[in-house]
Structure 1
Amino acid sequence: MSFGVVMICHTALDRVAQVARFWAAGGVPVAIHLDAAVPDVAFDALRRSLADVDAVGFTRRYRCAWGTWSLVAAAQAGAEMILSRAPHVGHAYLTSGACLPLRPVADLADYLAACPDTDFIESATTADTEWTIGGLDIERFTLRFPFGWKTQRRLFDAYVDLQRRLGFRRRIPSGITPHLGSQWWCLSRKTLSAILTDPDRGRYDRYFRRVWIPDESYFQTLARRHSDRIESRSLTLARFDALGKPYVFYDDHQKVLRRSGFFVARKIWPGAEGLYRGFLSPDLERSRAEPDPMPLERLFRAATERRLRGRPGLYMQSRLPRRDREQGKTAAPYSVFQGFGELFEDFGGWLAQQIPADVHGHLFAPGRAEFAGGQRGFRGGLSDSARLRDYDPRAFLTSLIWNSRGTRQCFLFGPRDAQEINWFIATDPQAQISVISGAWVVPLFRAGGDFAAIRQEATRLHRIETRHLEILRSVHTQARLRIWTLADFLDDPATPLQAIVDEISPRRQQPLTTLPQMVDLTGFGGFLQKLRNQGLQPRLIGNFPIGHEAMLRGPVLPAARNT
C-alpha cells in the first residue's frame, strides 16, 4: 500500500516543483492543481521543469478564490487523477503549494500502511467546535453565499443581512449532517472513491456550491457518510491565529517543526531556504514518532496570549489595549509618596539611602518632570517636558516603569501636581501609595505672605486632595494604600516610615537608624487655627491642637530601634 499527494498551488512555483520532486523521489504519485489565475507562461514553465518526472501530473485548472467552491473542485480533480492513475495507492493526501514535508516519505508510507482503512480528517459539528471565525456557524449551511467574502464584502454582508431579515433558510440535504474541519486531509481510497462516485454527488455538489467556505465542510461532511473509521485530526501541522489567519513558519522554526512529529506543515514562507534545504534532504533521519500537537499547542497558545494581551505594562502600537482591559497596567512595582516631600527636608535623598531605588521628585509637577538627580531625560528617551508628559500621562508613567524594570521607581505626588494620572495609579495593583493627608498646608505655612491669598490657595488644595482621597478609597482601587492624617503621622513618624521601607525592601531586615529631617513647625498650630478662624476647616489634617508642634522639633526613633 502507498499513498498519493494532491497539491493545490497558487504561488512560489519554484518551491512547488522542489516539493513535488521530493514526493516523486519517494515513489509517491503527485497531482498538481495550479490556480487558473496564474499566467499560462508560468504554468508552462512549471510543466517543463517537471517534464522528466513521470509521477507528476497536472489536473484541470480552476480559478480559485478563498472560501469558494473552486477549492473543492480543485481537490476533486486532484483526487480523481490520483485514484485513476495510481490504482495501487491506499490514501490520498491533500496539501497546498505552501506545504512542506517534515519527515521522510517512508515514515508516512509506513504510518498509513499500518491503518489502511483510517481517514485522517478533522470533522466536527458546529455545536462541537469553537474555531469558526467570522460570526457564521450553522448559518454557513442554511444561507446562500453567491458573493465572495474577501472580494465582494459589501455584497456578501448585505445579502446575508437580507436573508436573515426575510427568514430564509436552506434545506440541508437528507442523509448528511454538516461537519467542519481543516481542509488538509488524508483520506483512504475506499472513502474517497465513495465520495466521488456517490449517486447523490450532483445533489451534494449543488448544495455545497452555495455553502460558505465549502473546502472546510464538503469532505468533512461526506467522510462522515462513507467512512468506516475517522481519526478526527489532520496529519498536517496547520494553525491559525485569533483572526483565522494561518501562522507562517520561517527558518528559525526548524527545531520546533522537527519536534512536532507531524508529516507535513503549512504555511511555509517561500524564502525559508533553511527549512526547504533541511527537510527535503534525502538524508533526513527516520522516526516512528506519533504526531504530537501538544508542545506546539503550548507555543501557539503562548503566542496568541502574547499577541492579544501583550506583556504587563508594555503598550505596543500593534496591540494598544482598551482602557482597563490591559494585562497589567505597569510592568513592575513602584511607590508614590504624597505629603512626604512637604513634611521632610530632602525626603528623596534620605529614602535613596535606605533602599535600592530611583527616587524622583514630583514627576507630575506643573513645570517639569523632576527626575532623580535632576536629570533632564530618563531611560527610554523620556523628556522632563511637562507638555510632552501631559499629552499622555499614562504613557509617560508606563514607559518610565517599563524601561526601569529591575530598579524600584519612587516619586512624590501631591495636589499641586497634574491630577489626570490619579485614577490610573489608584487602580494599578503594582502601585504602593503612601499619603499624609493635609501635608500640603506645610509649604503654605512656611511661605508666609498675604494670608488672604494663602487661604484661597489652601481652599483649592484642600478640594483637590479631597477628590483624590475619594478616588483612593473607592471600591475600584487596587493599589496598596496607606493613609495618615498629618496629625496622626506626626504623633509617631518612625513607625510608618519603618513600615514603608520594609514593604519596599523586605530583604533589608534591619530597623531604621535615622529619620529624615523634619521641617521646622514652630507656630504651625497657630497657623492652622488662623485658617479655621477665616472659615476654612482643614479636616484632612486631623486633630492638631495649638502647641502640638513643640513635640515635633526633633523627631527621634523609638528607643528599641536605637541600636
Structure 2
Amino acid sequence: MSVGVIMLVHTALDRAEQAIRHWVDGGCPVVVHVDQKVRPADYAAFVGSLADLPDVRFCKRHACDWGTWALVEATQSAAAHLLESFPTLQHIYLASGSCLPLRPVPDLRDYLAARPETDFIESTTTADVPWTVGGLDEERFTLRFPFSWRRQRKLFDFYVRLQQAVGYKRRIPENVVPHMGSQWWCLTGRTVAAILNDPKRTVYERYFRKVWIPDESYFQSLVRLHSTKVESRSLTLSKFDYQGKPHIFYDDHKALLRRSACFVARKIWPRADVLYDSFPVAMSGKEQFTEPNPSAADRIFAQAVERRTLGRPGLLMQSRFPSSDRDNAMTAGPYSVLQGLGDVFEGFEEWLAKTTGATVHGHLFAPDRAEFSGRGPLFAGGLSDNAMLRDYNPTNFLINLIWNTRGTHQAFQFGPRDTQDINWMVAKDTDARISVVSGAWMIPLFKARQEFSDLRKEAARLQQIEHEHLKILRSPYTNARVRVQSLAEFVLAPMDMLQLIVDEMSEQTHPRLTDVPQMADLTGLGAFLQDLRNQGMHPFLTGDFPANLERDSTLQTPRKPYLVR
C-alpha cells in the first residue's frame, strides 16, 4: 500500500461513505475522523455501514469548529492511527467528507510513485501573499487568539485590539518560520511521522494552539523543518471567495472539474448527483500523465467574485452609491494603459503604433525618466521627460499630455517598476482603457542573471505592488474600462486581447490580426515559478504554470502566431 487517506467528516455521511469506498476499492487504507458533534446514533450507523471494509479505521473524535486547534488535533489523531496501522505508507492524503475524487486511484498512485520524496502542501509566508482576511497578516502568528472568530466575534475583536494597544507580541519558537496555505495536503509518510514524533512537538503545539486558523499553518510551517522536497501546491482543487469561504461545486461545474485534471475537488454540494455519478473519470493514453491544472477554474471563479463584489454595470444596490465623479471623465479623450504586454512581446511598442496609427509611448512613469514616443526629451505642450518635474504632480502630467494631443489616441506602458502615484486617477477616469497581463514582469526577472535569493525578493516586491494596483482596478470606485488576464491565461490565447486592444485604439473594428510581434521565449519559466513556490514565495499573479512548461505542448506558444479561419 503506497497511499493512505485521512478523511475528516462532519456532515453528509452518505457522501463520505461513497468517497471512502472509492479510496478503499483503489487499494488505499482510510482512517476517518468524525466530528464529535455528530449525534451518537448517526455516528454508530455510519460506522456500521462501513463495517465490511477491513481497511477503514476510526480514530479518536474531537469537537471541531472552523479555524480552531481541534482541526489540527483531529488530523494528528487520524495520522497517528494511520501510521500505526499501516507503517509502510509512502504518502498520506488529507481529504474531507465533502471531497470528490476526480481521477482514479491508480492515476494518483502512479503520480506519487514517480515522486516518492515529494511533499505536496501549499506553504507560503504571509509577506508574499494577500490571502489573509480581517486585516491580520503577521499578527496571526504574534498575537493570541483564544476566542472563536465565528462564535465569539466581539470577544475576538476586543482581545485583538487590546493586544495591539499594549504592543503584545508572542515569541515564535526557534527555527520555525511561519507559513500558511491550504489545509488539504498530501505528505510523505516519513514527513508526517517526523512531525508527529518531533521532540519539540509539545513546544510547537503550545504555540500553534493560539495561532489564528492553525489548520492552515501548523503542518504548513513544520513541513519546512522536516521535508527534503516541498512542492508548494495542493493536489486538491479548492477555491475560496474574497471572504475566505470555500466555493461550492455544483452539477453545472462538471466540465470545469474535468478540465482541471486535479485528483480531488472540494467542496462538493451533497446533492450534486451528476457529479457524484460522473466522477472519478478514467484517463487514457497521455491523459494519465496530465499535471493537475487548477488554473482551468481560476477565470470562472474570478468572474464570480467580481460579480459578487462589484455587481453589474448599470445596476446599483441600495447599499452601494456611485462616487461623485463616476460619470465625469478626468481627461480630454480616451487613452490606453498597457501593462505587461511589452514584457511578453518583443518590439511591441513599434508594432502597435504601426498597426493602429496611435501614439504609443514607453513607460511614461519609469523611475528615471518619461519614455515618450521616439524617446525625445520633450513632448507636445513642452512636457519634459525629467522624472522630478513629472513626479511633482503626476496626475496633472498625464492630464496635460492627453489635453495637448487631443484628436490622437495616446497609449503608454505601465508596470510595478513604475511610479504608482497615478493608479487611483487612472482607475477612476472613464476615458482610461486599461489592459493588464498580470505577472508579466516575471519574464525579464526570469531572464535576469542574478542570485536566486535576490530574484525571489524582487519578485515578492513587484508582486505586492501589482497586487495593490489590481485591487484598485477592481475597486467599486473604478470607472475605467479594465481587462485583466494572468500571464498563464494570456499565453494560451494572446490574439484575443491583442485584437481587442487594436479595435479599441482604432475606434473601429479592425481586420483580424495576421501579423503580430514575436513572443518572448518562455521555455523554463514554469520551472522558475515552481522554484519560487518551493522557496516559500507564491507567484499567484502569473496564474498556474506547470513546473514542466517547456514539455507541455498545450502551453507552448508558436514563435509566430497565426490565424485559423
**1:255 aligned partner, one-letter code:** A
**2:118 aligned partner, one-letter code:** T
Matches within 5 A, 1:82-481: 82-280=82-280, 287-315=288-316, 321-324=320-323
- 2-structure distance, mates of 1:76, 1:132: 24
| 1:58-94 Cα deviation digits (max 9, x unpaired) | 1100000111100000011111112111123101111
**2:295 aligned partner, one-letter code:** M
Q: Is the 8 A contact 1:195 1:226 kept in 2?
A: yes
- 1-structure distance, mates of 2:242, 2:231: 25
After superposition, the Cα gap between the structure-2 partners of 1:17 and 1:294, relative to the gap in structure 1 and judged at 3 Å, is same
Q: TM-score, normalised by structure 1?
A: 0.57
Please report how far the alpha carbon of residue 277 of structure 1 lies from its aligned counterpart in structure 2 after TM superposition: 1.0
- 1-structure distance, mates of 2:107, 2:150: 38
- 2-structure distance, mates of 1:284, 1:194: 34
**1:261 aligned partner, one-letter code:** A
**1:130 aligned partner, one-letter code:** P
Please report how far the alpha carbon of residue 302 of structure 1 lies from its aligned counterpart in structure 2 after TM superposition: 2.0
Please report how far the alpha carbon of residue 132 of structure 1 lies from its aligned counterpart in structure 2 after TM superposition: 1.0
**1:310 aligned partner, one-letter code:** G
Please report how far the alpha carbon of residue 428 of structure 1 lies from its aligned counterpart in structure 2 after TM superposition: 7.6
After superposition, the Cα gap between the structure-2 partners of 1:62 and 1:328, relative to the gap in structure 1 and judged at 3 Å, is farther
- 1-structure distance, mates of 2:314, 2:327: 6
Please report how far the alpha carbon of residue 174 of structure 1 lies from its aligned counterpart in structure 2 after TM superposition: 0.5
- 2-structure distance, mates of 1:326, 1:26: 61
Partner of 2:447: none
| 1:420-477 Cα deviation digits (max 9, x unpaired) | xxxxxxx9879xxxxxxxxxxxxxxxxxxxxxxxxxxxxxxxxxxxxxxxxxxxxxx9
Instruction: Tell me the matched-pair count.
Output: 336
Please report how far the alpha carbon of residue 239 of structure 1 lies from its aligned counterpart in structure 2 after TM superposition: 0.8
Partner of 1:7: 7
Query: Over alpha carbons, which structure has the higher Rg?
Result: 1
Q: Is the 8 A contact 1:311 1:327 kept in 2?
A: no
- 2-structure distance, mates of 1:102, 1:238: 13
Partner of 1:42: 42
**2:38 aligned partner, one-letter code:** V
After superposition, the Cα gap between the structure-2 partners of 1:256 and 1:145, relative to the gap in structure 1 and judged at 3 Å, is same
Q: Is the 8 A contact 1:90 1:189 kept in 2?
A: yes
Please report how far the alpha carbon of residue 249 of structure 1 lies from its aligned counterpart in structure 2 after TM superposition: 0.2
After superposition, the Cα gap between the structure-2 partners of 1:284 and 1:13, relative to the gap in structure 1 and judged at 3 Å, is farther
After superposition, the Cα gap between the structure-2 partners of 1:160 and 1:86, relative to the gap in structure 1 and judged at 3 Å, is same
Q: TM-score, normalised by structure 2?
A: 0.57
**1:262 aligned partner, one-letter code:** C
Q: Is the 8 A contact 1:251 1:272 kept in 2?
A: yes
After superposition, the Cα gap between the structure-2 partners of 1:200 and 1:251, relative to the gap in structure 1 and judged at 3 Å, is same
- 1-structure distance, mates of 2:297, 2:283: 21
Please report how far the alpha carbon of residue 162 of structure 1 lies from its aligned counterpart in structure 2 after TM superposition: 1.2
- 1-structure distance, mates of 2:270, 2:65: 20
- 1-structure distance, mates of 2:165, 2:132: 23
With CA pairs under 8 Å and 6+ residues apart, which has the higher RCO, 1 or 2?
A: 2
Q: Which runs of 5+ in 1 are unaligned?
A: 330-426, 431-476, 479-505, 508-563
- 2-structure distance, mates of 1:314, 1:197: 57
Please report how far the alpha carbon of residue 326 of structure 1 lies from its aligned counterpart in structure 2 after TM superposition: 11
- 1-structure distance, mates of 2:213, 2:91: 24
**RMSD across aligned positions (CA):** 2.6
- 1-structure distance, mates of 2:17, 2:104: 17
Please report how far the alpha carbon of residue 307 of structure 1 lies from its aligned counterpart in structure 2 after TM superposition: 2.1
After superposition, the Cα gap between the structure-2 partners of 1:314 and 1:170, relative to the gap in structure 1 and judged at 3 Å, is same
After superposition, the Cα gap between the structure-2 partners of 1:328 and 1:12, relative to the gap in structure 1 and judged at 3 Å, is farther
- 1-structure distance, mates of 2:33, 2:324: 46
| 1:387-435 Cα deviation digits (max 9, x unpaired) | xxxxxxxxxxxxxxxxxxxxxxxxxxxxxxxxxxxxxxxx9879xxxxx
Partner of 1:469: none
- 1-structure distance, mates of 2:91, 2:188: 4
After superposition, the Cα gap between the structure-2 partners of 1:32 and 1:185, relative to the gap in structure 1 and judged at 3 Å, is same
Please report how far the alpha carbon of residue 322 of structure 1 lies from its aligned counterpart in structure 2 after TM superposition: 3.2
Q: Which range is displaced more, 291-300 or 30-39?
A: 291-300
Partner of 1:54: 54
After superposition, the Cα gap between the structure-2 partners of 1:325 and 1:20, relative to the gap in structure 1 and judged at 3 Å, is farther
Q: Which runs of 5+ in 2 are unaligned?
A: 329-428, 433-478, 481-507, 510-565
Q: Which range is displaced more, 155-164 or 104-113?
A: 155-164
Q: Is the 8 A contact 1:309 1:327 kept in 2?
A: no
